[in-house]
Amino acid sequence: MKVMNFTQLKSGTSVEGEEIKAYRSEDKSESYNFLMAGVHGDEVEGVYLLKNLFGWLQEENEQINAPFIVIPVLNVDGYRSGTRTNSHGVDLNRNLPSKHWSPEARDKKYYPGTRALSEPENQFLVKLFEKFPPKFILTLHSWKPMVNYNGDDCLKYAQILSNLNNYPLVADIEGHPTPGSLGEFGPEKYNAQVLTFEAPLINESLTLDNIWQENQLALKSLLKSDLM
């Protein structure tokens, strides 16, 4: 039986000094597949999906030889307090140093910080990217169900998910610019394919486990695919 073993990497530190954990699979490579969640601390659905997906990877007995870096929760302060932003009030998905980063924000919840890459959480993320160059990044969020893809070859990754969960494929979200986002920064800086997976929000009739059951086949199929 083959299981996928992971080693905990040197942790990052949040604004409030909390540990940001990251893990690397035993398969070393020139480039890696990143799995991450909790960029926005109030998006518990994405964190739950990655928790289950990461657990499955560690128990998987089928042959998966892909190299992975897993960041269960990037915005640990926001996750603890239930806020979208980190403890500086910064939206980490508007704070990355892409070409279109701007100090302007159309709403307080999208505040990009005083400068690009000002936040320790993103500084840790970029250090990981520099040490373990990303080939593909799956970042799990929650808003309205969709598979948002960025990068020249990312559509084929997105199609695996959409074909199994019937979520719409979206290249650009009309009326929702995202300067300083991972979707901009990843392809631009590293030529990485970035897939932003938007899960539905929990409500009175939809639980976290419902969302996992709805998406586990799609997510597992992606990680077992030759694209990894």
Question: Tens of pLDDT along 109-163?
Answer: 999 999 999 999 999 999 999 999 999 999 999 999 999 999 999 999 999 999 9
User: What's the pLDDT at 63?
Assistant: 74
Average pLDDT of span 25-42: 96
User: What's the pLDDT at 118?
Assistant: 98
User: What's the pLDDT at 172?
Assistant: 84
* Confidence class for position 2, pLDDT limits 50, 70, 90: low
Q: What is the distance of C-alpha 167 from the center of its chain?
A: 17
pTM over 0.95: yes
In the predicted structure, residue 201 carries a pLDDT above the cut 80: yes
User: What's the pLDDT at 174?
Assistant: 64
User: Tens digit of pLDDT for each residue in 63-88?
Assistant: 788 999 999 999 999 999 999 999 99
User: What's the pLDDT at 117?
Assistant: 98
Q: Which tops the pLDDT comparison, 125 or 60?
A: 125
* Contacts for 77 with CB less than 8 Å, ≥ 6 apart: 14, 15, 16, 18, 41, 86, 87
User: What's the pLDDT at 60?
Assistant: 73
User: What's the pLDDT at 4?
Assistant: 86
Average pLDDT of span 218-225: 96
Average pLDDT of span 193-206: 98
In the predicted structure, residue 62 carries a pLDDT above the cut 80: no
User: What's the pLDDT at 1?
Assistant: 54
- Among 55-59, 60-64, 194-198, the minimum mean pLDDT is found in 60-64
User: What's the pLDDT at 65?
Assistant: 85
* Confidence class for position 175, pLDDT limits 50, 70, 90: low
Query: HEC states along the chain?
Result: CCCCCEEECCCEECCCCCEECCEEECCCCCCEEEEEECCCCCCHHHHHHHHHHHHHHHHCCCCCCCCEEEECCCCHHHHHHCCCCCCCCCCHHHCCCCCCCCCCCCCHHHCCCCCCCCCHHHHHHHHHHHHCCEEEEEEEEECCCEEEEECCCHHHHHHHHHHHHCCCEECCCCCCCCCCCHHHHHHHHHCCEEEEEEECCCECCECHHHHHHHHHHHHHHHHHCCCC
In the predicted structure, residue 182 carries a pLDDT above the cut 60: yes
